[in-house]
Chain A
Amino acid sequence: MEKMSRVSTALGGNVLTGRTMHCHLDAPANAISVCRDAAQVVVAGRSIFKIYSIEDEQFVEKLNLRVGRKPSLNLSCADVVWHQMDENLLATAATNGVVVTWNLGRPSRNKQDQLFTEHKRTVNKVCFHPAEAHMLLSGSQDGFMKCFDLRRKDSVSTFSGQSESVRDVQFSIRDYFTFASTFENGNVQLWDIRRPDRCERMFTAHNGPVFCCDWHPEDRGWLATGGRDKMVKVWDVTTPRAREVHCVQTIASVARVKWRPECRHHLATCSMMVDHNIYVWDVRRPFVPAAMFEEHRDVTTGIAWRHPHDPSFLLSGSKDSTLCQHLFRDASQPVERANPEGLCYGLFGDLAFAAKESLVASESGRKPYAGDRRHPIFFKRKLDPAEPFAGLASSALSVFETEAGGSCMSWFVDTARRYALAGRPLAELCDHNAKVARELGRNQVAQTWTMLRIIYCSPGLVPSTNLNHSVGKGSSCGLPLINSFNLKEMAPGLGSETRLDRSKGDTRSDTVLLDSSATLITNEDNEETEGSDVPADYLLGDVEGDDEELYLLDPDHTHPEEPEYVLPQEAFPLRHEIVDTPPGPEHLQDKADSPHVSGSEADAVSLAPVDSSFSLISVSHTLYDNRLPPDFFSALVRDMLRFYAEQGDVQMAVSVLIVLGERVRKDIDEQAQEHWYTSYIDLLQRFRLWNVSNEVVKLSTSRAISCLNQASTSLHVNCSHCKRPMSGRGWVCGRCHRCASMCAVCHHVVKGLFVWCQGCSHGGHLQHIMKWLEGSSHCPAGCGHLCEYS
């Protein structure tokens, strides 16, 4: 960490040199302060009070101000400040409420000068006047600020904040008489030093304590404050009302804030807890720190810029008992590590994506596309030379448009509404869902349902209609999400290599679809035919001969112009053999089994050995006999679910998961299930299918999901008269003392079940409203709204 870079700055004859370095202190530091000559720094803490001189290579201990054998609380410093006019003058604030001044010019070993014991509680902050040699200000936990004249023995004036503890006091650098004080209750007060009776101004700056403040060295009236609410705010107090000019959100409560010299918009912060780094922020760029110093291993308690006109040296003291000098040049810059990327949906489902140019450019192989462009967007950011991150911030913007119709998710909504997930025997559920899918033209999904039914229910009862499945039609039903986006390049002039060919994108995604389904099938086949000599071409290890039969049965569905599609697609519809099965008795059998079919398929099979002859699986291959347990397929089903989920069709994955319940749940790891559930629920809620989403939550077996229904179940009601939130009772407003929820029918207060129309917000007793709406379609309150009750 000892970086050897050196910086020297010429400052009116003075030359500051140094490097990033640190030295070990004997004890944790609470505060540091720099001498006017920028060559010495004082470190104060509970059990340390030392002056170090800053050499080129290292810190050298110059003076230990803790003298005497007996430890004294007067030396337990909460804060320290070095006078900016007088090199010999220091002041400390002690945790026991004493303010001590020190004169380095004293000849004796003990440099202690004066002792002010006026505060009753811990003194949090001391501050010298920037221009007056003898004026010292202190702020204490007891809520008072005191101004001392060092030529006198006691305070000149006392300022009462009339509120809680004072956390920081700072003299304004520009206005001679003004000082700011910050309080534990979130207030900031501005005082005139000549008027101790009342503050000039007061405003609430933060939620919770304001730990620190700092006046801008150049901009008159700019005050930065930092609080426990993790914010740094910059206020303009020259206007009649203090105005928030900038706001930086940090990740931990802000303990100190210091403007960076010579850089108008920069300030350094360190935090009170948890976070050990020192950040330098550009207040105009409040999201990513401009620089970051990561040397400390415990919280930083004090920061100071070494020289009021040199922006490159920062000193810091920390609870980890080290004193550091940081060089701005050696700071890490988080912005370099960040990948500035943004993603946003448009009103019509368009998707905009912005990324660093270098990233986008690295994806080679894209041809410039000059096709139709519905809404060409020319995007060029005007570069501001003063911008700190110019150059880093240039990015490429791509806009993806949804294909007309491709964005239509009606199939999703319909499916969600019509699927049956529980409450019926498994076989019926599967059939029902297969039917739904088929009606929506999603044949692959329909087939899957049918297959599941066959796998998990006793065989038989596949209506012959199922067999008329289109072969090769799958390309249109497929998985709509895949095709829904067309990439459209929207960054002209930002480098042609970033463009994406639209048609290429299309074919690409198609290929992906084909490829993945093909591989899936191959996988399945491999598993299925393991140990058998059947060619790995067909699902379920069916016989070759079926192939031809299939073509005979469905000759009109084969698409000769798409021969390469046929092979994978045909693997699915293989139900035709069941035509041979006598449907009548089978049907009865199934019905009889249905009440306890969930969970006892194996029993069903063994109970009816006759079934084996109808079993699809065992028809041609004795290898798969009737004893084949459904467990045998669980790996296959798991892969199938994964396939759907990866294709973006979590709907299918979740629906199957719910319908099959215990049968497959144990095979799929909990996290994946949870992930699918949350994605599906999220989708459902985006489509406002609240009922369906609730049903899914209810049916889910995952603990994390089912507790969603228990979270935030409270309903907040506002008073209908004063519009304030009702607290306490639901029927009387605490503020205007009027009964808020009156029944529109009987004009009495509703204290129990209250039902109201979401359109006109009138309502009343459940019974009354139900009765009323049977006879009339208008609102009982007479507002003319056509209420609906469902």
Chain B
Amino acid sequence: MRLATAANEAYTASLAVSELLGCKQCGGGRDQDEELGIRIPRPLGHGPSRFIPEKEILQVGSEDAQMHALFADSFAALGRLDNITLVMVFHPQYLESFLKTQHYLLQMDGPLPLHYRHYIGIMAAARHQCSYLVNLHVNDFLHVGGDPKWLNGLENAPQKLQNLGELNKVLAHRPWLITKEHIEGLLKAEEHSWSLAELVHAVVLLTHYHSLASFTFGCGISPEIHCDGGHTFRPPSVSNYCICDITNGNHNVDEMQVNSAGNVSVSDSFFEVEALMEKMKQLQECRDEEEASQEEMASRFEIEKRESMFVFSPDDEEVTPARDVSRHFEDTSYGYKDFSRHGMHVPTFRVQDYCWEDHGYSLVNRLYPDVGQLIDEKFHIAYNLTYNTMAMHKDVDTSMLRRAIWNYIHCMFGIRYDDYDYGEINQLLDRSFKVYIKTIVCTPEKVTKRMYDSFWRQFKHSEKVHVNLLLIEARMQAELLYALRAITRYMT
């Protein structure tokens, strides 16, 4: 007879990191009750997301069978039910694919050792100062036997991982600058060189965590209770908690003022939806009639691309990254906004010459079997996901809107679809929505609740999460396309 444990893995949330308690930024809050010597953490914040009211989010225990199975999977794979899962479960079909992919990337057979995978996750998340993901993976990293010294900064990690830092940086902020020289530098570095399979694994991990960081900020995911900034030891009566505890270093103080912006009159936003639907209908009808000239089409793309550079949130103040996260990146100054301010030209990448379905997939699946398939499924689900609803309307064909969002994001990365009329984007996406997209995709750490609230005011939260899924998948595909194209060029 043989023993088997059936899905009852112990909840082993390592508390290694949460030993560093209290607020480090302000140095306060260490006067905990030490009567019994036991400090009982209480959750800070309200629910899994700071943007979405707790009551809108599915409560654990009230889920249907499919969601329950997903939760069980997630719990079995991660040993926890994290806030990302709780928010993504708005879209169970996607969540299933997402969890499967993430599980495969982190835990199943692959060219990289386990602690490398988590460390790369930390590196990628730290690029966007996403302390939520960093904390999660610091725990996991230590859990799988990673060397705690590495966490003191990239310079303490092996040379091999340090070499990856440059790629991480470029990939996160300006993927179009990746050249085959980058790849060559990684693959031919004497004893620190990467193998092609390892590199593809690393690239997939990097892009996955860049885009997951976007999601985390885009949906305002709250810190986990066992992580830094996710709990407090102060008794509930203490009300004047430190602000940096809750914002977790993101410094979005204007959270307090959100309500004023969020409560724009309902009638206004009602017309917003109506107008959008009207536009979609118009576009559908008149598409065949007036055919824009070739030059017109080309210039529309260029305009959209250029404009996307200048779409920016009004409060563009300098953000100083939280200390514990910043140690993972070498120069914080290297960000997206650098080039956009200076009006750097983004070269055009034609998707008809190098697309995910034909080229990217083949390359990934060759070097890291099965992952190509998983990611391909995930892209498909994200792109095709629809409930045929828009706010209060039912039976709406949203494919046009979804395509516009997807192509707008690719457009920001300079990726062009020959068969798309970029004029549609201007018709369908209004300014506040563009600001939100742009911020999430390029500088997710700057997203505020005000931005989240101010686009598509009449839409449901689940729809906003849906938008986020589109955003992160489109971003991941864009980064992957650039990285894989460079690898292909290196190989030929």
* A→B interface (CB under 8 Å): 28, 46, 70-74, 76, 78, 94-97, 117, 119-122, 141, 184, 208-209, 211, 228, 252-253, 255, 272-274, 276, 297-299, 320, 703, 707, 710-712, 715, 717, 727-731, 734, 741, 750-758, 763, 766, 769, 787-790
Contacts and interface: CB of A to CB of B under 8 A. Distances in A.
B6 A750 contact: yes
B419 A120 contact: yes
Nearest to A741: B6
A74 B4 contact: no
Interface stretch (B65-73, B119-127, B204-212, B231-239): B65-73
A738 to B, nearest CB: 14
Interface in B73-119: 73, 108-109, 113-114
Given A73-B298, A730-B7, A734-B69, A756 B1 contact: yes
Query: For chain B, which range describes its interface: under 10, 10 to 19, 20 to 34, or 35 or more residues?
Result: 35 or more
B240 interface: no
B295 A758 contact: no
A763 B1 contact: yes
Given A78-B352, A120-B419, A272 B2 contact: no
A209 B295 contact: no
Given A95-B418, A121-B419, A272 B6 contact: no
Given A729-B72, A731-B6, A757 B1 contact: yes
Given A253-B362, A272-B359, A729-B7, A707 B113 contact: yes
Contacts of A788: 1
B140 to A, nearest CB: 14
B363 A73 contact: no
B5 interface: yes
Interface string B352-374: 11000111011100100000010
Interface string B187-220: 0000000000000000000000000000000000
Given A95-B419, A96-B297, A741-B6, 15 more contacts: A28-B353, A46-B350, A78-B352, A94-B418, A96-B419, A97-B419, A121-B419, A209-B357, A228-B357, A228-B361, A272-B358, A274-B491, A728-B72, A729-B72, A755-B3
B114 A273 contact: no
Contacts of B12: none
A320 B492 CA distance: 9
Contact of A752 (B2, B6, B287, B362): B6
B488 A273 contact: yes
- 6 smallest CB-CB distances across A and B, nearest first, come from A728-B69, A730-B6, A95-B418, A273-B362, A95-B352, A730-B7
Given A95-B352, A757-B1, A274 B363 contact: yes
15 contacts: A70-B295, A95-B418, A97-B419, A208-B376, A272-B358, A274-B491, A276-B492, A297-B492, A710-B114, A727-B69, A731-B6, A734-B65, A752-B5, A753-B3, A788-B1
A541 to B, nearest CB: 39
A119 B70 CA distance: 40
A539 B287 CA distance: 93
Contact of B73 (A97, A117, A728): A728
A420 to B, nearest CB: 24
B294 interface: yes
Counting chain A CB atoms within 10 Å of each CB, the highest count among B3, B4, B68, B108 belongs to B4
B291 interface: yes
Nearest to A207: B373
B267 interface: no
B8 interface: yes
Counting chain A CB atoms within 10 Å of each CB, the highest count among B72, B294, B297, B488 belongs to B294
Nearest to A770: B1
Contact of B8 (A276, A751, A756): A751
A95 B362 CA distance: 21
A273 B6 contact: no
Contact of B352 (A46, A119, A730, A754): A46
B419 A754 contact: no
A74 B350 contact: no
Contact of A755 (B2, B68, B287, B350): B2
B240 to A, nearest CB: 45
Counting chain A CB atoms within 10 Å of each CB, the highest count among B108, B291, B362 belongs to B362
B472 to A, nearest CB: 23
Interface in B436-487: none
A72 B294 contact: yes
A733 B297 CA distance: 54
A757 B114 CA distance: 34
Contacts of B291: 117
Contacts of A122: 352, 418-419
B366 A274 contact: yes
Contacts of A734: 65, 69
B352 A76 contact: yes
Contacts of B70: 728
B6 A74 contact: no
Interface string B143-159: 00000000000000000
A126 B3 CA distance: 60
A69 to B, nearest CB: 11
Nearest to A787: B1
Given A712-B109, A755-B1, A272 B362 contact: yes
A715 B362 contact: no
A73 B366 CA distance: 32
B362 A73 contact: no
B102 to A, nearest CB: 15
Contact of B69 (A70, A272, A729): A729
Given A274-B491, A751-B8, A754-B6, A74 B362 contact: no
Interface string B248-279: 00000000000000000000000000000000
B352 A211 contact: no
A766 B65 CA distance: 28
Nearest to B373: A208
Contacts of B418: 73, 76, 94-97, 122
B316 to A, nearest CB: 36
A74 B1 contact: no
Given A76-B418, A121-B419, A755-B1, A273 B353 contact: no
Nearest to A728: B69
Given A727-B69, A757-B1, A273 B8 contact: no
Counting chain A CB atoms within 10 Å of each CB, the highest count among B5, B69, B357 belongs to B357
A703 B114 CA distance: 12
Contacts of B4: 715, 753-756
A655 B387 CA distance: 62
A273 B1 contact: no
Given A95-B419, A253-B362, A766 B6 contact: no
A758 B362 contact: no
Contacts of A753: 3-6, 8
A789 B72 contact: no
A46 B353 CA distance: 8
A26 to B, nearest CB: 16
Contacts of A715: 4
A293 to B, nearest CB: 17
Contact of A711 (B1, B109, B297, B358): B109
A712 B104 CA distance: 11
A647 B399 CA distance: 67
A209 B69 CA distance: 30
Nearest to B110: A711
Interface in B277-310: 287, 291, 294-295, 297-298
B363 A273 contact: yes
A711 B109 CA distance: 6
Contacts of A763: 1
Contact of A273 (B69, B359, B373): B359
Contacts of A70: 294-295
B419 A758 contact: no
Contacts of A72: 294
Contact of A789 (B1, B359, B362): B1
A498 B358 CA distance: 50
Contacts of B114: 707, 710
